[in-house]
Structure 1
């Protein structure tokens, strides 16, 4: 897809970095996280805080009226929450898909072995993971990436272990190791979009990216 323009800022970006809004049959504006709803859509690329401000000031309604060429729109007060929930679901769905495709490793012992062997492309920790367990795996990751003494570490997801366990259909998922480069890039994409919306972008580093820079990130 070509770049899309955020209706609130006027900035253009890849659709994968934006959130599409669509209008339902009753005129209600709802998030279209997968950008597959039929009809005209409008795109936003702002943080949740900025969206809430735009709603409070009437800026969002005006921008949507121009985009959809009608003022007969119903914008739910819960739109910011709906978008966040949709982005979280997209992340958990992607984790579930990668787990079923055997692209992920769980269990601290197995992850530690894979890290030390340099097989881990992306290391993820649940938001409520114990600091000691994460620290040990981060050290194993640095050993495998020949980066001892650096601040290289796994990425802390904005979701807890219960959500991860449900998404992956496994018990007590606290840490996740991604061993496939393409899977790591796909996950980094959905993580980045959620982070951007939450306004806490830190970037989930994909290890060995140079080996897969030209690889397609098929869905």
Structure 2
């Protein structure tokens, strides 16, 4: 496979192919428990599913997920936890917020609407993030300036300012931004999979200027 090509995997539920990093890997624990392997690092055979909560919940309710997993794991004895969907969502949230925390500690994540606005005006912002409960006025002001700058992407996170503030160890975090392109790409990847699972990737919150990875 050429180096520039992204490895693909097939969803065991929809049979559709997607980029490996966009899907969710399920793996077997030591006792046969089916567990989310969000870093795709667990040993042994894995099963891949589309990051779509409704798809997975429907498959669980109809018994389709268990059948698909039995085929994927070649008839191994498996146990599907009742809270598998909740574990996936919690894991995706943790990975995205941990990534934000890491970028903050390394100086790549910028907080504060005034500082962010200055960087947007300078054409420096590659990714703009809003807490789910950010005011319409606050979001609108920053998003409008981002559109004028003709670069970057605006995303609303699936959590409010309280959870975001706790995750970052700061008070009243409502808006955040990344000016480093590589950091923006890393955060965008983690956030996109999380939002896709929660069903918010198509809510019209994203900017109109392409993904951070494209800039």
Within a 5 Å distance, the mapping from 1:35-184 to structure 2 comes to 35-143=40-148, 145=149, 154-184=154-184
Give the CA deviation at 1:67.
0.9
Q: Deviations over 1:179-206 (max 9, x none)?
A: 1111112221112211222223237449
Across the aligned residues of Structure 1 and Structure 2, the Cα RMSD in angstroms comes to 2.4
Q: Assess if the C-alpha contact under 8 Å between 1:121 and 1:208 holds in 2.
A: no
Q: Assess if the C-alpha contact under 8 Å between 1:114 and 1:120 holds in 2.
A: yes
Instruction: Provide closer, same or farther for how the CA distance between residues 97 and 207 of structure 1 changes in structure 2, counting only shifts above 3 A.
Output: farther
Corresponding residue number in structure 2 for 1:15? 20
Mean alpha-carbon deviation: is it higher for 167-176 or for 18-27?
167-176
Q: Assess if the C-alpha contact under 8 Å between 1:184 and 1:206 holds in 2.
A: no
Instruction: Provide closer, same or farther for how the CA distance between residues 138 and 2 of structure 1 changes in structure 2, counting only shifts above 3 A.
Output: closer
Q: Assess if the C-alpha contact under 8 Å between 1:123 and 1:154 holds in 2.
A: yes
Extract unaligned runs of 5+ from structure 1.
215-219
TM-score, reference length from structure 1: 0.85
Extract unaligned runs of 5+ from structure 2.
1-5
Paired residues in the alignment total 208
Corresponding residue number in structure 2 for 1:188? 188
Instruction: Provide closer, same or farther for how the CA distance between residues 188 and 96 of structure 1 changes in structure 2, counting only shifts above 3 A.
Output: same
Instruction: Provide closer, same or farther for how the CA distance between residues 160 and 61 of structure 1 changes in structure 2, counting only shifts above 3 A.
Output: same
Mean alpha-carbon deviation: is it higher for 130-139 or for 51-60?
130-139
Q: Deviations over 1:99-122 (max 9, x none)?
A: 112111101111111111111111
Q: Assess if the C-alpha contact under 8 Å between 1:191 and 1:204 holds in 2.
A: no
Instruction: Provide closer, same or farther for how the CA distance between residues 213 and 134 of structure 1 changes in structure 2, counting only shifts above 3 A.
Output: closer
Q: Distance in 2 between matches of 1:205 and 1:37?
A: 35
Q: Distance in 2 between matches of 1:86 and 1:135?
A: 30
TM-score, reference length from structure 2: 0.87
